[in-house]
Structure 1
């Protein structure tokens, strides 16, 4: 009996010891600042200041790293207009890494005398007094991510080969199928809808060597010059 009692005592001691170790480990991980956030590392930003992203992330110093809600942090960072994606990850013992991808402006939309820079999805990244000369100007009736004409015009912007894109000053879209390009030398290209961009660009490249004021490539098989 004495041996059994001794074995039971040892088992009880081991259980208590294990519970104590587990409890201490849990306290260190989830409560104590020992494994708290000491560094917030920002990766991938090119134009958005690191300090702005850290401030938007709003992660308290020494908050237990295990308790940081990564999805919430990512959502806060996406509140910055110029950020397209954000991914937060823990790096033990005390680093929170936030990897971002910035929105890249592809066109300019005139708004109330200002230049709104928009990305390929139609999201405004920033507003400037004057748009960068390298970006085409979009002339739209109702610019916005949900506007079919805006979406179609951006599809054209994204599909233009570099050699042609650098010659385009302005893209006009009266509708999703009513797109035209104004070249830097004043010539006009009737593009039509955003479909068959490769064929249209190829045909246009061949036609531009011929003198004309207007080039209609809306139907690549039957083109007209005026």
Structure 2
């Protein structure tokens, strides 16, 4: 079969009219990098202005959570929060340090930014396990031995430490400060229901602690060793012998009770 003629091939080709079109503009690599840099600078400048210069992200209010004895107003006053400042500029570590210094009742505290306008303060207050009486005032002591508040009156539900060591020869080896630490160990192990029933925690010597409960009941505790086991034993005895007047848990594996 004969191939197509030159005339036939020419008929299938589209005619070219007009001058040739110039190639479109192309971004060279340096120009592209420059454009990207300009965009980044603009975005960075806008972000800095939004964070520091605008009113969009300023500290306008505060949130305080976790107070028990303290009030939110006391926390805000001690924190000296920079309301009205850019939220990004709030020094949360400095706020935490002020709270710990001015309010020793605070055990744990976390200050954070809650965008777009709130400074959040979340805290945990210390819990007193013992009261130390001196000159008619009471000092609250937590389970770590930290003295954090002084009161004119003893609050209910917290044992008061009574030192009965005047004639104890053990003071030469175990001074009063050591006895107070050991008393804190004992009080810190008392379950809340037992602590609320405990009026006095007497310390006669290093190995002679006793409790006075409500209703004229008493507990021979012994030393501060094995206080967790003694607390569990006492809790069980209080339920098993509700009419008993005296409890001895100095040896927690061999406790004793009596009605007199």
Aligned to 2:100: 78
Whether the aligned pair in 1 keeps the contact of 2:230 and 2:250 (CA below 8 Å) is: no
2:198 counterpart residue number: 168
Specify which of 189, 198, 213 is matched with residue 183 of structure 1: 213
1:61-98 Cα distance to aligned partner (Å, 9 max, x none): 22222222222221211221221111111111121111
Is 1:49 the counterpart of 2:71 in the alignment?
yes
Where do 1:16-165 residues align within 5 Å? Answer: 16-79=38-101, 80-140=103-163, 147-165=177-195
Look up the SS of the partner of 1:63 in the other structure.
coil
Matched, 1:201 2:241: no
Q: In structure 2, do the counterparts of structure 1 residues 203 and 10 end up closer, same or farther at CA, with 3 Å as the change threshold?
A: closer
1:106–1:120 CA contact under 8 A, matched in 2: yes
Residues 193-213 of structure 1, C-alpha deviations (whole Å, 9 max, x = no match): 23132454157535774566x
Provide closer, same or farther for how the CA distance between residues 153 and 47 of structure 1 changes in structure 2, counting only shifts above 3 A: same
- For 2:112 and 2:43, the matched residues in 1 are separated by 27
Task: Sort the Cα spacing of 1:211 and 1:29 in 2 relative to 1 into closer, same or farther, 3 A.
Answer: closer
Measured on the aligned residues, the alpha-carbon RMSD in Å equals 3.3
State the alpha-carbon separation in 1 of the partners of residues 192 and 74 from structure 2. 33
Moved more, 121-130 or 107-116: 121-130
Q: Which has the larger radius of gyration?
A: 2
- Give deviations 1:122-162, integer Å, cap 9, x for gaps: 333432222123322112479xxx94433332332233345
Contact residue 218 and residue 245 of structure 2 kept, 8 A: no
Contact in 1 for aligned 2:140/2:149 (Cα 8 Å): yes
CA deviation after TM superposition for structure 1 residue 32, in Å: 4.4
TM-score by structure 1 length? 0.78
> Partners of 1:7 and 1:133 in 2: how far apart?
78
Compute the TM-score of the two structures, normalised by the length of structure 2. Answer: 0.69
- Cα drift, residue 187 of structure 1: 4.8
